[in-house]
Amino acid sequence: MNLLPPERIERAARIYSTAKEAASAMGISVAHFRRLCNHHDIATPRQRRKQNSAPLSRTERVTCEAEWENQQHQHEADLGR
């Protein structure tokens, strides 16, 4: 039985861009790395990339649009000076 602390697994999942790289750095198989991530509720590098590219919610989208409009108005005001 391989006793790897969850902190080490989580750090590898954050540092490396693929599960293969993370598993190799830890000296374990890719399947074992994925099982450990699943067991400890840690997002694998692929899951993290997928979460980061998820579409924005309506609230987040409205907030981003409002910030963009404010920046545009500020830019126009700066140019008008």
Written as tens digits, the pLDDT of the chain (81 aa) is 458 899 999 999 999 999 999 999 999 999 999 999 999 999 999 999 888 777 778 888 888 888 888 888 887 888 775
Given CA atoms 23, 28, 34, 40 in this order, what sign does their dihedral have? negative
Could you tell me which residues come within 8 angstroms of residue 37 by beta carbon, excluding any fewer than 6 positions away? Answer: 9, 13, 19, 43, 44
Note the pTM of the prediction, 2 decimals.
0.62
CB 28 within 8 A of CB 61: no
